[in-house]
Amino acid sequence: MSAKDDENDGPAAEREVIQGEIDSTAEDFPGEESAQKPAGAHRAPDEEDEIPVAEDTKPGLGAELEALRSELDERTHDLQRVTAEYANYRKRVDRDRGAAAEQTTGKVLTDLLPVLDDIDRAREHGDLVGPFASVAEQLTAVTGKLGLVAFGEKGDPFDPNRHEAVAHQTSADVAEPTCVEVMRRGYTLGERLLRPALVAVADPE
């Protein structure tokens, strides 16, 4: 080999030796190559990495819904109870108001019964004529509108709940106790008895 060949081969040989050392060093330290990767490069998740898991329901949601449902039921029952109590209160007030009105009307009509008795006696004697007859008719019409009903006629079956017997006799013409004479008519106001009728009663023989 000539001296010229030694000069040419010397640097190339040195480069080959240096490159071999670099390659050997890269193989001994593989982490350095991965360290050169960009920060955003993809990598497989490790076991220690936290992977978010979607939760469909929260643990306390069911209990909260149950509590709200129970409270709603309780409020509904309270409302129903208050509504029923108010309805009963309205019925009781209306009933008491009606009873008070009927009692007041009954008191006024009871005070007018002697006047109606005088009208009945005047009619029986034929004295119900002229202006007095017109006033009597108007008074009778007004008391009728207020609910006053007269009862007690000759021939009515005797009813101890509605008639007051002031005389008794026997008769073959009756099959049951019968009112044969009416001394004073009785009056009712709705279902209420204001005054019984005074009658004479004939019993069967």
How confident is the model at residue 128, as a pLDDT? 86
Scored b (16 or more CB within 10 A) or e, 6-18 reads eeeeeeeeeeeee
How much of the chain, in percent, has pLDDT values that exceed 70?
Answer: 71
Instruction: Find out whether 199 and 158 touch, Cβ atoms under 8 Å.
Output: yes
Span 103-142, pLDDT tens digits? 999 999 999 999 999 999 999 899 888 898 999 999 999 9
Q: In what order do the strands lie in the sheet with 178-184?
A: 163-171, 197-204, 178-184
**d(Cα 132, Cα 138) in Å, to the nearest integer?**
10
* Average pLDDT of the residues of the chain: 81
At which residue do the structure tokens 């240096």 appear? Answer: 18
Would you mind telling me the total number of residues written for the chain in this entry? Answer: 205
Q: In the chain, what are the domains? A: 149-205 (2.30.22.10)
How confident is the model at residue 171, as a pLDDT? 92
Name the more confident of 164 and 9. 164
**d(Cα 180, Cα 157) in Å, to the nearest integer?**
9
Instruction: Find out whether 187 and 151 touch, Cβ atoms under 8 Å.
Output: yes
Span 16-39, pLDDT tens digits? 655 666 555 545 545 444 444 444
Instruction: Find out whether 186 and 196 touch, Cβ atoms under 8 Å.
Output: yes
